[in-house]
Structure 1
């Protein structure tokens, strides 16, 4: 049974408001690196929290790692808390998101290990074929910059829309050059997307929120990202300067172990994919 701390948006909203003031002035302040203390890792509940729970309950003691997990319900606060030293590491984000967060928020967070790939998918209560979306369909997408770009690129790969050739990871609806079905895009908080399925024709949902809502990316999506050359692998991140923290290195070893790979394969059955550390 979990005995982790769950951090909600309401509880940490005040902390998020301080990021703009603290990020620029805290670049020389490292998160704690006391190898005798617990390693505090922030994560979204699924799959990151479940993967870390498995490590804590089955592998950490033998490795001499005291692991404390704090769960978050959004994508901003885990990085805010990491930058401010409330966490030693976090697990939930991909490199494009991390790099954009550093650029826009003035943080200095770095990835230390690839963990797994949670493919983004399109879900619908109204059609089983993405090509059958009606003219004027409403499609909900994440309102967060890089995840919105990721969602639009997925739709473009299916042929539903076309994007400007130079549209990068921060692509937005303004970058759409062709929209033959006149799709209307509804931008929502990523966590709200599963609940929007009753109100829209389709929604593009990150795997962690899909899984948390009882959806199977492999079985329930009408369109799923390809794993080939996919840049959206989730990574373990730390504040720059703490890459060689002994506790972090221990967690990296466990996170990339055969035991964790097997756990991911057996639990998620293709809805989350382990990453070869090589």
Structure 2
């Protein structure tokens, strides 16, 4: 994703795309701020409904062996893998009801207000932005995947071939600029002061310790810069439209690199439900189902990098990002 709510969300000066969603040739990132990407018109409730008679997962302990209904919020949940997930949940004894929201600013407040038991549409950076802006305490309960941001070139087939002193382009919006710089650092092209973070800018590039110069351009212009620069970070939204293939990337986020953790997509819940057994079971169904993963990969154009991160590490990362956001205020 890649953002949701009547309540305000902190906006970057550029309205940075932030949330990643596994939709091939659809917006993969959501806007940090009031400019949200509308994926569908209107609010379609109960895209896939379970048994309404089953007790809600967050209504209290169900009797032993009793089926439980989990209400999950999503954005643009029209891809077939959501049906696959519902079927897999049913086999595990869960009645999964998916509420499909039209815009990213909607599922988090719906979760806070108890309309949902959980949602799955955002990564940690976005959740941190929402929590700080709204004085909320939603938490991640499980990880899904990273949808990598990648480096492309029309001149070089390998990062090692990029000449020292050449120019590499990154998007100029806050979120993707920071993430793009982290990709360049992981690839050994630049060194960021203090190791870099989800809020790094070009000003944080240590020029004397970096192999390349970095220039920022509007995100939709980075593909057109390729003939004139050594390489460019290109948002997933623009890769195929630029006549490129995802497989053409010469570098991308490393899901195992700690700097990528804030961009892991998550299941989120209210703080009091972080140990809820039914929602934990749903996360495990997602993580363990190969048919669900196959569907996500198909929807994402093969870009999804599935990761399993402990709830403790997810929540620790959330708190760190929240602290960084507050420090910038």
Aligned-partner SS, 1:168: coil
Summarize the Cα distance change of 1:248–1:149 in structure 2 as closer, same or farther, 3 Å threshold: same
Q: 1:200 aligns with which of 209, 225, 235?
A: 225
Q: Is 1:271 paired with 2:303?
A: yes
Corresponding residue of 1:55: 85
- Following TM superposition, by how much is the alpha carbon of 1:65 offset from its aligned partner in structure 2, in angstroms? 1.6
Summarize the Cα distance change of 1:114–1:121 in structure 2 as closer, same or farther, 3 Å threshold: same
Aligned 8 A contact 2:69 2:94 in 1:
no
Listed as ranges, the gaps of 5+ residues in structure 2 are 11-55, 61-67, 311-329
Summarize the Cα distance change of 1:52–1:142 in structure 2 as closer, same or farther, 3 Å threshold: farther
Aligned-partner SS, 1:183: strand
Corresponding residue of 1:242: 273
Corresponding residue of 1:141: 171
Corresponding residue of 1:172: 201
Q: Is 1:106 paired with 2:135?
A: yes
Summarize the Cα distance change of 1:220–1:16 in structure 2 as closer, same or farther, 3 Å threshold: farther
Q: Is 1:67 paired with 2:70?
A: no
Aligned 8 A contact 1:42 1:89 in 2:
no
**TM-score (structure 2 length as normaliser):** 0.56
Aligned-partner SS, 2:144: strand
Q: CA RMSD in A?
A: 4.3
Listed as ranges, the gaps of 5+ residues in structure 1 are 1-8, 21-30, 189-194
- Following TM superposition, by how much is the alpha carbon of 1:253 offset from its aligned partner in structure 2, in angstroms? 2.8
Summarize the Cα distance change of 1:59–1:70 in structure 2 as closer, same or farther, 3 Å threshold: same
Summarize the Cα distance change of 1:220–1:264 in structure 2 as closer, same or farther, 3 Å threshold: farther
Summarize the Cα distance change of 1:172–1:127 in structure 2 as closer, same or farther, 3 Å threshold: same
Q: 2:256 aligns with which of 228, 235, 240?
A: 228
Aligned 8 A contact 1:118 1:206 in 2:
no
Aligned 8 A contact 2:81 2:296 in 1:
no
For residues 83 and 273 of structure 1, the distance between their equivalents in structure 2, rounded to whole angstroms, comes to 29
- Following TM superposition, by how much is the alpha carbon of 1:110 offset from its aligned partner in structure 2, in angstroms? 0.5
- Following TM superposition, by how much is the alpha carbon of 1:90 offset from its aligned partner in structure 2, in angstroms? 2.4
**TM-score (structure 1 length as normaliser):** 0.64
- Name which one, 1 or 2, has greater alpha-carbon Rg: 2
For residues 234 and 244 of structure 1, the distance between their equivalents in structure 2, rounded to whole angstroms, comes to 19
Aligned 8 A contact 1:137 1:181 in 2:
yes
- Following TM superposition, by how much is the alpha carbon of 1:112 offset from its aligned partner in structure 2, in angstroms? 0.5
Summarize the Cα distance change of 1:137–1:97 in structure 2 as closer, same or farther, 3 Å threshold: same
For residues 301 and 95 of structure 2, the distance between their equivalents in structure 1, rounded to whole angstroms, comes to 28
Residue correspondence of structure 1 range 122-133 to structure 2 within 5 A: 122-124=151-153, 128-130=157-159, 131-132=161-162
Q: Is 1:251 paired with 2:282?
A: yes
For residues 247 and 54 of structure 1, the distance between their equivalents in structure 2, rounded to whole angstroms, comes to 18
For residues 174 and 112 of structure 1, the distance between their equivalents in structure 2, rounded to whole angstroms, comes to 35
- Following TM superposition, by how much is the alpha carbon of 1:237 offset from its aligned partner in structure 2, in angstroms? 1.0
Corresponding residue of 1:192: none
For residues 84 and 265 of structure 1, the distance between their equivalents in structure 2, rounded to whole angstroms, comes to 28
- How many residues in Structure 1 have an aligned counterpart in Structure 2? 243
CA deviation digits over 1:69-98, x for unaligned, max 9?
425665x55445544555442223333543
- Following TM superposition, by how much is the alpha carbon of 1:264 offset from its aligned partner in structure 2, in angstroms? 6.2
- Following TM superposition, by how much is the alpha carbon of 1:32 offset from its aligned partner in structure 2, in angstroms? 9.4
| Greater per-residue strand proportion | 1
